[in-house]
Amino acid sequence: MKKLLDIAARVSDQAEVFSIRNDESSLEMRNGSPTDLSASIQSGYALRILTDGRIGTAYTKNLLDREELVSNALNSLKGRVDAGFSFPGPAEIPASWLPDESIASMGFHDLHSRSRKVLDYLNRKVDGQIDVNSARGIQDMAIMNTSGLNVSRKSSFMYIFTSLLFPNTETAVQKLYQSRKSGDFPERELDRLVDLYTSGLPEVDIPTSRMKVVFTPDTLYTLLWRLSVAVSGKSFYNRVSPLQERREEKVLSDKFTLYGDPTDPQEVDQHFFDDEGVPAKKHTVFEKGVFKNLILNLDYADKLKEEPTGTGYREVMFEGETVALPPVPSLNCSRIAPGDVSFEDMIRSIDRGVIVFGVLGAHSGNILNGDFSVGLNPGFYVENGEIKGRVKDGMVAGNVYDVLKNIESVENKLHDSPMGGMFPSILLNDVSVAAK
């Protein structure tokens, strides 16, 4: 990295080298049988150079030809992409913790053993298809720039993700367990999943009307996606955000607080700087319904004449290579502050409503405006505080700014979400539910 940085420094005003290495293994088991097994070690290097107020970028999977990489970055300057920011200098950043040895030594036998435990436990309690995916991984990341920054971090993770499929469908209730150390899926969480599955076995028809709706942790990304776009520095710079000129204004329920905190000791991917080397810290976006802060990377902080918020990440949602993507404003390690109601009491409080356990079409609707319309996959119908069964066909629709003004209660516990972050379930009043 140092050699590459030196070469780039000779032909630019400023330069930055970002490197990443992922060592991952995964196992997929469908209905008790292994269906996919993979192992990969991927590495890459991304170069950014700043010259005359413009930015050039290039990336490679290896450093066999550093001169060519620098040449590619210089050629990309012809795109004339403006960049008024500077790369950050050194900062007091805590040392990262080392990957756990129990993860480093895990092999496919360990993944299979832990998946098998989940399968055996659930098979004793339910009669249906059980899918289990498990994985382990170690990541090394480093950033070096000509402003004197030289930081690195290491992390390790393992997860087990299990699904109980309803008969003759691909619809399931699911649960994620993840940790930075090797471990087994907690049986109490599996018992909770079994209870939900059993409750959802009957199929029921529901009326089309407005009713109470619970968004569970796995489905809250539907709403948070819309909020994150609105509070991004990019949307504010382009003056297209529905929250333009509304900072310090109460725009949502006072029961809603959203923040990101990569430094949280409970975070599996705990870290102390973002993908641009800016120190990371707890960053609150909405506090008791009040819109407080934007999400900014170096570029949009400069464009808006504000301070960077340590939220610039090379974000990969589904497919893609980290080094191939530029850092964008992104709320990493996001949280919704818990409330004071248990999930069970939340359900008991519902006279008539739907629990959303999975969605289809989260991308549907005008995301920037906050609109959503999603299929229930699955959704459970609740009447007089009891789950009556699984909704045969149904949809939930609305606008995120309307529904999040009308929060009845927030669960008192946070859960890991497969889409990232830790969230409680949220009970909303007066939401449009459509049945076929």
Tell me how far apart the alpha carbons of residues 44 and 42 are, in angstroms, rounded to a whole number: 7
**Every domain of the chain and the residues it spans:** 2-197, 203-436
The candidate with the shortest Cα–Cα distance to 417, out of 222, 253, 263, is 222
Tell me how far apart the alpha carbons of residues 359 and 215 are, in angstroms, rounded to a whole number: 10
H/E stretch holding 261 reads: none
- Three-state SS for 147? coil
Concatenating the DSSP letter of every residue in 267-312 gives: -TT--SB-TTSPBP--EEEEETTEE---B--HHHHHHTT----S-E
- Three-state SS for 114? helix
What are the distances in angstroms from CA 369 to CA 46, 152, 226, 251? 34, 38, 8, 14
Q: Which two tokens stand for residue 75?
A: 């050629």
Its pTM stands at 0.93
Q: What is the pLDDT along the chain (436 residues), one digit of tens a residue?
A: 999 999 999 999 999 999 999 999 999 999 889 999 999 999 999 999 999 999 999 999 989 999 999 999 999 999 999 999 999 999 888 876 667 788 888 889 999 999 999 999 999 999 989 999 999 999 999 999 999 999 999 989 999 999 999 999 999 999 999 998 888 999 999 999 999 999 999 999 998 999 999 999 999 999 999 999 999 999 999 999 999 999 999 999 999 999 999 999 888 888 999 999 999 999 999 999 999 999 999 999 999 999 999 999 998 765 568 888 999 999 999 999 999 999 999 999 999 999 999 999 988 889 999 999 999 999 999 999 999 999 988 999 999 999 999 999 999 999 999 988 999 999 999 999 998 7
User: Quick one: pLDDT at residue 436?
Assistant: 75
Determine the CATH number of domain 2-197: 3.30.2290.10
User: Quick one: pLDDT at residue 320?
Assistant: 67
User: Quick one: pLDDT at residue 319?
Assistant: 59
Q: List CB contacts of 90: < 8 A, sequence separation 6 or more.
A: 147, 148, 149, 150
Q: How many CB atoms lie within 10 A of CB 33?
A: 8
Tell me how far apart the alpha carbons of residues 45 and 115 are, in angstroms, rounded to a whole number: 34
Number of helices (H), then strands (E), belonging to the chain: the values are 10, 24
One-letter amino acid at 32 equals: G
With vertex at residue 79, the alpha carbon angle to CA 73 and CA 84, rounded to the nearest 5 degrees, is 80
User: Quick one: pLDDT at residue 169?
Assistant: 92
Tell me how far apart the alpha carbons of residues 8 and 58 are, in angstroms, rounded to a whole number: 11
| Count of positions (residues) in the chain | 436
